Amino acid sequence: MEKVHSKISYSGKKIRERAAICTGILALGILNSNTIRAQDSPAINQNVPVDTILRIEYDTEGPKDLPSQMEIRGKYEDYVLKLMNSVSDWLGMGDISKADPKRLSEAINKVDERSLFSYVSKVYHNDFGAYKEYEPLIDSIETKGFNCYSSSIIIADSLGRMGKKMDAVTAPGHVFLIGRDYAFETTTVEDPYHKPYFPRQQLSYEYPIHHEMGWNAFLAGAYISEAYHIITENQNDGLVEAYKNAINMDPDQPIINGVYKMAKMAAKDSKPIRFSHILLTDIELQYAQDEASKNPNNQYMFLLEGRLYKELGRKEESDKSFEQALEVYDAKIKTDPGNAELQIEKDELLGSLGRKRALPAGN
């Protein structure tokens, strides 16, 4: 597995780094996050439930003694404040402890999100590494190796305290952030071919199954991390409950629901549960097939089918699904020829298939 989750924004081409189980993840503290070192931070919009997430991690696999937990929480806070200081200075506000909260909030929400996300990505990845599968935040803080959940949490927490209005988005095996106009792939390292952001309008094209669900996404990830830890220990005790808790946070994710059913069956038979990349891809593929059958005018489900078949090496079926997606695009564009988003998405799909694009270069 590569250590960088990369995607080419606005292009349909994407290195889809799938976790064999939706990676969960964040560390937690004992104190309320609104009281931790508040004198060092404006803490305008500190809504990320870091302490609840950390508590789940500590209960499952983290240190049980208070001094060790406080040490982890302190290191986490240092990382957050370091990132906040960098962004505050970049915005022209100087040291975060001296920045006016109202002006800071206005500035961070006014600045172009592409520039903001690009800058935050560079600063973050200069200090931290990605992509680490299955590593909880309590370990990530020590190794500086983060995955999509943990990097999304620390960045959302940092920007949220500064007043940035953001949301979390889940997709099967993945979580990322979204602002007013752009989505932010926190594990993408920017280079000439990869950007850490893509237009909000492209959400359904990039991730046919996605849910904008606020910070519950992080709680779902923490419970999934708990479930994964139970599985790696070859146990069943607590597994069903962990997935049930994850579903309560993110009830519409097909993989979580699919694995939850398997966990119940394994518990009933008193057998340890086993997962694989192929198994989880099959669960997602079945969901896409069911949805496409219910609504044959949903091009995104055919897109998803094509991508999943391609991952499984089933080229003939992949090509057929992509053709079905193109047919739906053609029908919709004929009905609504002025819809630029449909035109762009179709063009991106043609490009990803190595075919001649319909739109001029630069569109």
Which pLDDT score is estimated for 246?
A: 86
The reply to whether 163 and 299 lie within a common domain is: no
Q: pTM, whole model, 2 decimals?
A: 0.78
CATH number at residue 321: 1.25.40
Give strand ranges (E) for the chain. Answer: 167-171, 174-178, 182-184, 197-199, 211-212
- Please tell me the total number of residues recorded for the chain in this structure: 363
Q: What is 246-268 written as a DSSP string?
A: HHHHSTT-HHHHHHHHHHHHHHH
Please state which of the ranges 4-8, 137-141, 272-276, 317-321 shows the lowest mean pLDDT.
Answer: 4-8
Q: Is the pLDDT of residue 10 over 70?
A: no
The reply to whether 68 and 154 lie within a common domain is: yes
The reply to whether 48 and 184 lie within a common domain is: yes
Residue 263 lies inside a defined structural domain of this protein: yes
Instruction: Report residue 27 as tokens.
Output: 């560390």
Which pLDDT score is estimated for 121?
A: 94
Residue 107 domain boundaries: 1-275
Q: What is the pLDDT of residues 116-141, one digit of tens each?
A: 999 999 998 887 766 556 667 788 88
Which pLDDT score is estimated for 253?
A: 78
Highest mean pLDDT: which range of 105-109, 238-242, 337-341: 105-109
The reply to whether 94 and 133 lie within a common domain is: yes
Residue 304 lies inside a defined structural domain of this protein: yes
Residue 215 lies inside a defined structural domain of this protein: yes
355 CB-side CA count, 13 A: 12
Q: What is the pLDDT of residues 207-222, one digit of tens each?
A: 998 988 888 888 888 8
Residue 361 lies inside a defined structural domain of this protein: no
Non-local (6+) Cβ contacts of 293 within 8 A are: none
- Which of 241, 275, 309 is a domain's end point? 275
Non-local (6+) Cβ contacts of 102 within 8 A are: none
The reply to whether 223 and 317 lie within a common domain is: no
Which pLDDT score is estimated for 276?
A: 67
Q: Is 361 exposed, middle or buried (0-12, 13-18, 19+ CB in 10 A)?
A: exposed
The reply to whether 162 and 251 lie within a common domain is: yes
**Mean pLDDT, residues 337-348:** 91
Residue 233 lies inside a defined structural domain of this protein: yes
The reply to whether 258 and 137 lie within a common domain is: yes
Which pLDDT score is estimated for 28?
A: 25
307 CB-side CA count, 13 A: 23
Q: Is the pLDDT of residue 8 over 70?
A: no
Q: Is 17 exposed, middle or buried (0-12, 13-18, 19+ CB in 10 A)?
A: buried
The reply to whether 261 and 307 lie within a common domain is: no
Residue 273 has phi, psi (to 5 degrees) of: -90, 145
The reply to whether 185 and 167 lie within a common domain is: yes
Residue 297 lies inside a defined structural domain of this protein: yes
Q: Is the pLDDT of residue 80 over 80?
A: yes
Which pLDDT score is estimated for 1?
A: 29
- Which of 225, 252, 275 is a domain's end point? 275
Q: Among 354, 350, 353, which Cα is nearest to 363's?
A: 350
- Which of 258, 275, 292 is a domain's end point? 275
Q: Is the pLDDT of residue 34 over 60?
A: no
The reply to whether 38 and 148 lie within a common domain is: yes
Which pLDDT score is estimated for 9?
A: 30
**Mean pLDDT, residues 231-251:** 79
Dihedral, CA of residue 126, residue 131, residue 136 and residue 141, to nearest 10: -10
Note whether 243 and 259 are within 8 A (CB). yes
In angstroms, the CA 94 to CA 282 distance is: 50
Q: Is the pLDDT of residue 228 over 80?
A: no
Q: Is the pLDDT of residue 186 over 70?
A: yes
**In the block, which residue shows the tokens 């349909």?**
12
Which pLDDT score is estimated for 361?
A: 56
The reply to whether 203 and 73 lie within a common domain is: yes
CA distances from 341 to 36, 204, 346 (A): 44, 11, 9
**Mean pLDDT, residues 155-162:** 94
The reply to whether 289 and 263 lie within a common domain is: no
Residue 253 lies inside a defined structural domain of this protein: yes
Count: domains in the chain: 2
Which pLDDT score is estimated for 118?
A: 97
Q: Is the pLDDT of residue 41 over 50?
A: no
H and E: helices and strands count for the chain? 14, 5
Residue 360 lies inside a defined structural domain of this protein: no
Which pLDDT score is estimated for 147?
A: 87
